[in-house]
Amino acid sequence: MALHLTLSRRACLAAGVSALLALAGCDKLSPTPKTAFSGVDITGAEYAQKLALPDPDGKLRTLDEFKGKVVVVFFGFTQCPDVCPTTMAELAEVKRSLGADGDKVQGVFVSVDPERDTPELLKAYVTNFDPSFVALRGTPEETKAVAREFKVFYSKVPGKTEGSYTVDHTAGSYLFDPQGKVRLFTRYGSGAQSLASDIKALIAGA
């Protein structure tokens, strides 16, 4: 009986020590809480990895050259009546609102209408929102390839007059962190405040 009690006490003591150790190490074992982004968190996505297109001056631009900044990539066209100018205006507003940290934000506008978006037109278009914004324009084939890489939809829609058209396209932006990794997809209409919050978080290292 004495032996039984001794073993029982030892077992209880061992269980108690184990419990204390488990509690003491709880903070170390618990995963770090994820940042609550406003946009859709796509961290680790296998798409939206490559972007290499010429700018209006004919210089090939890639995402790698913007490392160290939060890059916001948007696909659109200069004759877009609402979604495109609204998105670019909001991004410019966010960049200005960040003060000195605004220099850590890079806007990239990819044309889905290379037939009408001439280099001159594209340069004037993005500069109108912010001089630092970059416009990219490829051939129709290159545009299709990049859109496929980013899972972006776009399609011509005939206009009211012969030969005229508009372009339906994905209305959202991709955000890349300063390490060049795709992190978020922000839907059109989320607003400048939500975009600013996400960009601040990425600048801070979230």
* Residues that constitute the known binding site for Cu cation: 80, 84, 169
Sheet (strand 134-136) strand order: 40-41, 182-187, 172-176, 70-76, 105-111, 134-136
For tokens 């913007």, name the residue: 66
Is residue 49 a contact partner of residue 150, using CB atoms and an 8 Å limit? no
CA dihedral 97, 101, 103, 104 (to 10 degrees): -120
Q: Indicate the angle between helix axes 83-97 and 192-203, nearest 10 degrees.
A: 50
For tokens 């003060």, name the residue: 99
Length of the chain: 206
Alpha-carbon span 38 to 148, nearest angstrom: 25
Give kind and range of the element (H or E) at residue 43: none
DSSP code for 101: G
Q: Indicate the angle between helix axes 119-129 and 83-97, nearest 10 degrees.
A: 50
